[in-house]
Amino acid sequence: RSRAKMLARAALIGACLAMTEGFSPSFTTGRTLGLRAGARVNAQGAQTVRCQQKREAGETVAEYENRLEGFRRAATAAVPSGILLSQLAFPFQEAAAKGAEYGLLEGKAAALIHPAVMIGLYGFTLFTGYQGLMWRKIRELGDEMKPLQDESKKLKAEMESLTAAEKPTSAVEGKLKSVEQELEKLTDERKKLLAGGYRDKHFALASLLLASGVTFSIEGCFDTYFRTGKLFPGPHLFAGAGITVLWAIAASLVPEMQKGNQNARSMHIGLNAIILALFTWQIPTGWKILDNVLNKVPWVPVPPPV
């Protein structure tokens, strides 16, 4: 196999040299590579066969020779770059050969995409959950304010009736003041939370989390298959599949949640709590896989020896 590699590299270098010689006034490839040029030689011993460039009408022999010499020099200057490129490109050509048919998709760079994205998505999950809990708190504050608002209206109506009857209102005024103070406190807190835009942020972030999470969960399976030709049933794979399914179920509850269905909201929160738990459980198993990738997967995969 090493001999085949050497022959392939030699062929690439020879091709680079042959391209530069093709611009010369005559075939000199034979002299360069030790091959027979097969060119005819005139009485003075000069090769007369011309390559690549056609002599233009009205062009003298001297002008023709000078033009070819210019082409040859320009091409010769590219030989070192061509030789270097042939050596750099060779491993990538091998990576796409039989036995490593997916090329660089089997390499370390592609394998690191899944863990890098999933680490980001774990933090993204925590932040999205925080936004959702803040929006839930805003709704709960609104629910707490409703009975206080009703009580305030009732006390105000009672004060009006007492005033009209010219009866003392001090007891009712004390109750009303206490209710309005509590109501004002909740109103201010709710206004501050509303200014954070948690509802819209949670919806946008959750949509992005769903799209990217499902995409890179599947990408992780493809990456494993590209590198090994199979999947490995185990805790990491099963937990990832469960998270992907639960993402879809949690998203399907959104229409009912928007209608005010409290059961759907509670189920949505519960499912996402399970998702976070499974995601956290994946960290140690994923870390073992990442360690194998870092230590065992090459940046440029090569086919196994035949």
Q: Which of 157, 161, 155 is nearest to 173 (CA)?
A: 155
Reported confidence tier of residue 97, pLDDT bands at 50, 70, 90: very low
* pLDDT 10s digits, 49-96: 444 456 666 677 777 777 767 656 655 555 555 444 444 444 433 333
Contacts of 115 (CB under 8 A, 6+ apart): 286, 289, 290, 293
Phi, psi of 195, rounded to the nearest 5 degrees: -65, -20
Phi, psi of 41, rounded to the nearest 5 degrees: -120, 130
Angstrom distance (rounded) from CA 268 to CA 249: 8
Supply the DSSP symbol for 26.
S
Q: Which of 117, 136, 87, 116 is nearest to 272 (CA)?
A: 136
* pLDDT 10s digits, 227-264: 888 888 999 999 999 999 999 999 999 999 999 999 99
**pLDDT, greater one: 2 or 149:** 149
Query: pLDDT at position 187, please?
Result: 94
Answer yes or no: are the C-beta atoms of 25 and 65 closer than 8 Å.
yes
Query: pLDDT at position 249, please?
Result: 97
Supply the DSSP symbol for 37.
-
Model confidence at 46: pLDDT above 90: no
Per cent of the chain over pLDDT 70 is: 68
* pLDDT 10s digits, 128-169: 999 999 999 999 999 999 999 999 999 989 888 888 888 888
Answer yes or no: are the C-beta atoms of 302 and 94 closer than 8 Å.
yes
* pLDDT 10s digits, 222-234: 988 888 888 889 9
Place of tokens 């409290």: 262
Angstrom distance (rounded) from CA 168 to CA 125: 58
Q: Quick one: tokens of 242? A: 């469960």
Contacts of 257 (CB under 8 A, 6+ apart): 264, 265, 268
Model confidence at 282: pLDDT above 80: yes
Q: What is the pTM of this model?
A: 0.62
Coarse DSSP helix, strand, coil percentages of the chain, rounded to the nearest 5 percent: 75, 0, 25
Phi, psi of 47, rounded to the nearest 5 degrees: -70, 135
Buried/exposed code over 15-41 (b: 16+ C-beta within 10 A; e: otherwise): ebbebbbbbbbbbbbeeeeeeebebee
Answer yes or no: are the C-beta atoms of 251 and 271 closer than 8 Å.
no
Angstrom distance (rounded) from CA 41 to CA 44: 8
Angstrom distance (rounded) from CA 185 to CA 168: 28
Measure the CA angle with vertex 204, ends 203 and 208; round to 5°: 115
Contacts of 158 (CB under 8 A, 6+ apart): 172
Supply the DSSP symbol for 41.
B
Q: Quick one: tokens of 282? A: 């994946």
Supply the DSSP symbol for 51.
-
Which DSSP string corresponds to 59-102?
Answer: --HHHHHHHHHHHHHHHHHTHHHHHHHHHHHHHHHHHTSTTSTT
